[in-house]
Amino acid sequence: MSKVTPEENNEFRHAWMIRPCEIYKDEYNECKYWKSRFHQYFIHGYKIDCSSWEKDFKNCQIWQEKKSEEAYNAIIESEKERRMNRLRGHFGNTIWKKRDKPPENWNSPLPEWMQENYKNSYLEKMKTKEAQETSEMIDKYCVIM
């Protein structure tokens, strides 16, 4: 395994944020697709600007071919902006209190009435059905030791 020098480590330390170039192209094509345009108009009331995906695709190709620092910085800034847009609702949330740790009784047993309801549920029936099928499959196999 080769050692990473401090210069290499700091030069492209956010390279993990860069997606494969094909993904940028796919996102651009998906954004420009007529069904996507219809969906954008239905949800937002206007067509979304897809040029950032196209710019990122071109910058990604330049970065992969030439390791251009300018292209690298453009992609990283775009990814950071995209991430902040995605998390804007989370950071702007003033209703819910964020927890540092789970509640004390997060794994306590369910109340009896809920356990009774669970016995006749679809999930429980599927669980028993899978167990039966597994045991039947095991019985069918012949194992020579």
6 within a domain of the structure (yes/no): no
Query: Are 138 and 81 within one domain?
Result: no
pLDDT tens by residue, 81-117: 999 999 999 999 989 888 899 999 899 988 998 888 8
Would you say 57 and 22 are in contact if contact means Cβ atoms under 8 Å apart?
no
Query: Are 115 and 82 within one domain?
Result: no
Q: Pinpoint the alpha helices (H) of 5-50.
A: 6-11, 21-32, 34-44
Q: Is the pLDDT of residue 6 over 50?
A: no
Query: Are 76 and 44 within one domain?
Result: yes
With H, G, I as helix, E, B as strand and everything else as coil, classify residue 70: helix
Total tally of structural domains belonging to the chain: 2
What pLDDT, on a 0 to 100 scale, did the predictor assign at position 143? Answer: 60
Q: Is the pLDDT of residue 42 over 50?
A: yes
Q: What is the DSSP letter of 120?
A: T
Q: Which has the closest alpha carbon to 55: 37, 33, 28, 81? A: 28
Q: What pTM was computed for the model?
A: 0.63
**Alpha carbon of residue 98 to chain centroid:** 21
Query: Are 56 and 117 within one domain?
Result: no
Query: Are 84 and 136 within one domain?
Result: no
Query: Are 64 and 121 within one domain?
Result: no
Residue 50, domain extent: 15-92
Query: Are 65 and 132 within one domain?
Result: no
Between these two residues, 138 and 22, which has the higher pLDDT value?
22
Distances (CA, A) of 144 to 137, 141: 16, 10
Query: Are 114 and 79 within one domain?
Result: no
100 within a domain of the structure (yes/no): no
Burial (0-12, 13-18, 19+ Cβ within 10 Å), 71: buried
117 within a domain of the structure (yes/no): yes
Quick one: tokens of 42?
């239905």
Separation CA 99–CA 142 (nearest Å): 53
What pLDDT, on a 0 to 100 scale, did the predictor assign at position 2? Answer: 40
Q: Is the pLDDT of residue 71 over 60?
A: yes
Would you say 70 and 92 are in contact if contact means Cβ atoms under 8 Å apart?
no
Quick one: tokens of 127?
């669980």
What pLDDT, on a 0 to 100 scale, did the predictor assign at position 141? Answer: 61
74 within a domain of the structure (yes/no): yes
Query: Are 59 and 118 within one domain?
Result: no
Query: Are 74 and 133 within one domain?
Result: no
Would you say 59 and 71 are in contact if contact means Cβ atoms under 8 Å apart?
yes
